[in-house]
Structure formats: C-alpha cells, structure tokens
Structure 1
Amino acid sequence: MAHTVTDRKKLLNRVKRIKGQSIALENTLENEPDCMAVLQQVAAIKGAVNGLMKEVLEGHLREHLGAEDLSKDQRLEEVEQVISILKSYLK
C-alpha cells in the first residue's frame, strides 16, 4: 500500500495520539473515575480512530480503486474487500 508508506509519519502521529488517549483513559479508570471524564476520553478515542480510518480508507480508495489499470474483475474484488472491512468496522 503505497499510500500508507507515503503518509506513514502522519498515520503514526495519529496512532500515537490514540495511544496517549488510551493511556489517559486507563489512568482515569485506575483512579476514582468521574463518569463524564471517562465518557469524554472514550469519545476522544473513538473520534481519533474514526479519523485514522478515514485517512487510510480515503488513501486506499484513491490509490487502488481509482487506479486506471485495474480490470473490471480486480475493481470488483477491491470493492468487495472494502465493503467487508466497512461492515466489520461499523458493527
């Protein structure tokens, strides 16, 4: 996946932010957690993961499905793979 290689630094920064948010949530839960603080952290993590998914998915669609050299069968296979991932992600 060339787009994940060219955007590696940006994607890794997003992952590091998600990691930091997860650690903050863990720390909150280890203390005497306030419900609102927990909810806020969970919402932040979800938003960060959604942003990461959007970036990778957009790159994949542009680079792979947008490729002009794909045969019809290859394009259909790519579409099915993306649909499968989206179904799993959106459960």
Structure 2
Amino acid sequence: MDSNKQLLNRMKRIEGQVKGIQRMIENGEFCGDVLIQISAAKSALNKVGGMVMENYAKNCFKERAEAEDPEKALEELLNIIIKYSK
C-alpha cells in the first residue's frame, strides 16, 4: 500500500530527527535549539498520527462497522480518538 510506504518514510525521518536530538544533547548543544528540534519531531509525529487516524476512519472503521455492530465500531473509534488525543 502506497500510504504505508509514505508513513514508513515519515517515521524513518522522525527516527533520524530523534537521533539528531540525542547527538545534540550528547554534544551539549544550546537548550533552546534542542527544544526547537523536539518540537519539530513532535509535530512530525502528530502529522503521522493524523494520517493513520484518517486511514482508520476511512477504511478500518468502515470495515468494522459493516462486519460488526455499527454502534460497537463507533464506540471503538471514539475510544481511540480519546486515547490518541491525550
């Protein structure tokens, strides 16, 4: 699936960002610069999460609602949204 490849590429970039942050800390970089990079990594991770959530709502939820009780599928979706938002 093409979207999975996109997600994996984004996750690899995030992994690189996190490793870069580790190096910054090891090298004693300026705290402000480290915090900016942490913020960028969090933002990138949130973007990936949004993409996965969109896929879930468009595909997984639809399949579950058709295969199972739609009320149960909706409850599961709401629980996932609540947990993801924390």
For the pair 1:38 / 2:34, whether they are aligned, the reply is yes
Residue 86 (structure 1) aligns with: 81
SS at match of 2:32: helix
SS at match of 1:32: coil
Task: Let me know the Cα RMSD of the aligned residues.
Answer: 2.1
Paired residue for 2:72, among 77, 80, 86? Answer: 77
8 Å Cα contact 2:61/2:77 also seen in 1: no
Q: What is the rounded CA distance, in whole Å, between the counterparts of 1:41 and 1:62 in structure 2? A: 32
Q: What is the rounded CA distance, in whole Å, between the counterparts of 1:86 and 1:29 in structure 2? A: 33
What's the TM-score, normalizing by structure 2?
A: 0.81
The 5 Å alignment of 1:1-91 reads 5-67=1-63, 70=66, 73=69, 75-91=70-86
Q: Percent identity?
A: 32
Higher RCO, Cα 8 Å, sep 6+:
1
Count of residues paired in the alignment? 85
What's the TM-score, normalizing by structure 1?
A: 0.77
Give the unaligned 5+ runs of structure 2. none
